[in-house]
Amino acid sequence: MGKVTDAGFVKGFIRMADDGWNLGFHERNGGNLSYRIKEEEVEGIKECFAPAEWKEIGTEVPDLAGEYFLVTGSGKYFRNVSLDPEDTLAIIEVDDAGKMYRIVWGLKNGGRPTSELPTHLMNHEIKKRLTDGRHRVIYHAHPISIVALTFLLPLEDKVFTRELWTTMTECPIVFPAGVGVVPWMVPGGREIAIATSEKMKEYDLVIWAHHGMFASGADFDLTFGLMHTAEKSAEILVKVFSMTDKKRQVMSSADLRKLADEFGVVLPEKFLD
């Protein structure tokens, strides 16, 4: 089994889990991570697979038929991923109809993939379609300041986007499409998976009110950096709000347009009016 954990994408996955734990994004068994494995990566480790029985995903993802994913396990702690990846992680295969999955490696002591698997796979399907397959990572974490802001700000895409953009200059460059916001819903089911995947059609960052945030990206560094940047802006904003209820100065729409021109990014007009 050592061959699987020696694979480059597995090492990148483990590093990202450690980074999230070290930043305090994953209390207890909070958060989850998934990676859509490339064909050549699957071929490099396939001899280590031991397929288990097929189980229902809880949704349908036909565009992911036959794909393999590395995912965190339900109830597993991010702090333990690097210590025992074969216990905390699983590689799963999606069936030819996109309705079932089976574990082919990992979770050696039993268990199942993350309870948010429907949300992960629906987001993967959307991003595979909209990015010509470039996006491969879906990351769910509980960044403290982002969650805190969901108790303070209106749960609206425009409000959160403008506040994060204008709090830290890098934000419009790192996530120029903005951020989406999903109101509080019971996690783990099809309803919240649908709501999140609808937002993912427009954004790479989606906030779950009073819970956490989802990020999508092409690789581990970009996806983690996306989450980290948004959380850092939120942390600054929380500190500002702790000192005053009125900002003395803030970036204007004209400032944001100048920034976009300088860095060659397109900012949606709906966030600039």
Active site residues: 116
Here the tokens at position 20 are: 């999230």
H-assigned helices in the chain: 2-6, 8-22, 39-45, 85-88, 117-130, 144-149, 157-167, 171-174, 190-200, 220-243, 253-263
209-227 per-residue burial string, b: 16 or more CB within 10 A, e: under 16 = bebbbbbbbebbebbbbbb
On whether the CB atoms of residues 61 and 121 are closer than 8 A, the answer is yes
Q: Give the whole-angstrom CA distance, residue 42 versus residue 81.
A: 20
Question: In this structure, what are the phi and psi dihedrals at residue 153, rounded to the nearest 5 degrees?
Answer: -95, 155
- Beta-carbon contacts of 23 under 8 Å, excluding residues fewer than 6 positions away, are 143, 228, 231
- Beta-carbon contacts of 30 under 8 Å, excluding residues fewer than 6 positions away, are 78, 141, 142, 212
Measured over the CA atoms of residue 264, residue 267, residue 269 and residue 272, the dihedral's sign is: negative
What residue has token string 């702790």? 242
Q: Give the whole-angstrom CA distance, residue 71 versus residue 121.
A: 10
The neighbour count for residue 252, using CB atoms within 10 Å, is: 11
